[in-house]
Structure 1
Amino acid sequence: MSANKEVNPWIILDEQEVYQNAWIRLNHYKVINPSGKEGIYGKVHFKNKAVGVIPIDETLHTYLVGQYRFTIQQYSWEIPEGGCPENETALSAAKRELMEETGLQAEKWEYLGAAFLSNSVTDEASEFFVATGLSKYKSAPEETEQLAVKKVALQQAFEMVENGTITDALSVLALQKLQLLWMQGKWKA
């Protein structure tokens, strides 16, 4: 007889908060793992949902944001993205992040999808959108952001994912999903 794969096989024996700040909480667990043995597990809880936007103009160009990422000690090209607090909708946060990082506002918003970004050690959830009908205003990045904004052909952004220039998980997910839907005729510019 096989186990029901959708039933949680983990048993939590003990949970301790190890660290917390305004963005994350780190918990340490003593558990009984799926094999029935005692073990440990660590989990990073994200207090914000991640949101991302692929802004596309009338000439099928998009806007990427470049910045040096402290966590990986590397420069990263990404779609405009940021955090969505619990009291804000993902769409509202996506609109805010697009304006803050690029100075763009959009007339039309399409929901593209959702994903967990690293579900082996975190519960970070994300939602991503396509924004069209763009108008340009002044950007207002946060004090922790030293951003460069680059306008590229949408096809070039797809190629940047393919050749490894774009490695940010949310950006890769969103751009590849859009490319797949476009190739299948399920998304039209």
Structure 2
Amino acid sequence: MPKQIAAPAKKTTRRRGKAEVLSSKLAYNGKLFKVFKDQVREPGAEDAHLREVIRHNGSVVILAVDAKTGSRDPLIVMERQYRHAAGQFLLEVPAGKMEEGEKRLPAAKRELLEETGFRARKWTKLVRYFASPGFLGEWMQVFLAEELTAGQAAPEADENLEIVMMRLSDVLEMIHSGEILDGKTIVSVLFYARMLDENRKQKRKTV
């Protein structure tokens, strides 16, 4: 039987630039976000198309890690809350919407304290991503919060949160089994777990 040879990947031209916005109309102005109807001509396209886009001040995500009991399998600060849009309770890492004019790191510190009562001495940017770029203009910045100290939480009136401390290994197992469905939690925890694994490999190489 002849040996199968994989075809080389086709080279693609990366399209750059921004869309030409021909018109933009505010269709909805809500408490948390605005919806715009934009007529746009996107890069590489000849015709204009209608795009409905949700915009707001932006959000931050906090992966709060307590490694006092061991750095190989640290505790992760998780929240369990009911999400009406999803129609169920979800396990999530802390996150929240930025106030108008607020910077991302101060917003992350504020959200962590308000929702969980924790403060962190060490803050690191992990990764940023677009949650749903087909219609949502928001991108989310994940911060790693370490060296935690506990305090008193002060969630908003409509936030009914249960704080749960979980081992990283347990969170990973629940992600792989489909028990954790929240996107920001999956992105941040998997990124962090891979980072830990890469750091351990580098340490072994230098020994």
Q: 1:6 aligns with which of 2, 9, 16?
A: 16
Name stretches of at least 5 consecutive residues in structure 2 with no aligned partner: 1-11
Secondary structure (helix, strand or coil) at the match of 2:199 reads coil
1:43-95: CA deviation from partner (whole Å, max 9, x where unpaired) = 11122x21111111112111100111122222111001111224222111111
Which residue of 2 is the match for residue 54 of structure 1? 63
* 1:38 CA displacement: 4.1
Secondary structure (helix, strand or coil) at the match of 2:127 reads strand
* 1:4 CA displacement: 6.0
Q: 2:123 aligns with which of 109, 122, 135?
A: 109
Aligned length: 185
1:5-32: CA deviation from partner (whole Å, max 9, x where unpaired) = 1133x44332211001232110112344
Higher-Rg structure is: 2
Q: 1:76 aligns with which of 69, 90, 99?
A: 90
Equivalences for 1:14-93 in 2 at 5 Å? 14-32=23-41, 34-47=44-57, 49-57=58-66, 58-59=68-69, 60-93=74-107
Distance, in Å, in 1 between the alignment partners of 2:93 and 2:119 is 15
Contact 1:46–1:122 (CA<8 Å) still a contact in 2? no
Distance, in Å, in 1 between the alignment partners of 2:155 and 2:76 is 18
What is the root-mean-square deviation in Å for CA atoms of aligned residues? 2.2
What percent of counterpart residues are identical?
A: 26
Secondary structure (helix, strand or coil) at the match of 1:18 reads strand
Amino acid paired to 1:106: A
Name stretches of at least 5 consecutive residues in structure 1 with no aligned partner: none
Contact 1:29–1:40 (CA<8 Å) still a contact in 2? yes
Aligned CA distance change for structure 1 residues 97 and 5 (closer, same or farther; 3 Å): same
1:127-154: CA deviation from partner (whole Å, max 9, x where unpaired) = 1111121111111111111111111101
**TM-score normalised per structure 1:** 0.88
Contact 1:15–1:28 (CA<8 Å) still a contact in 2? yes
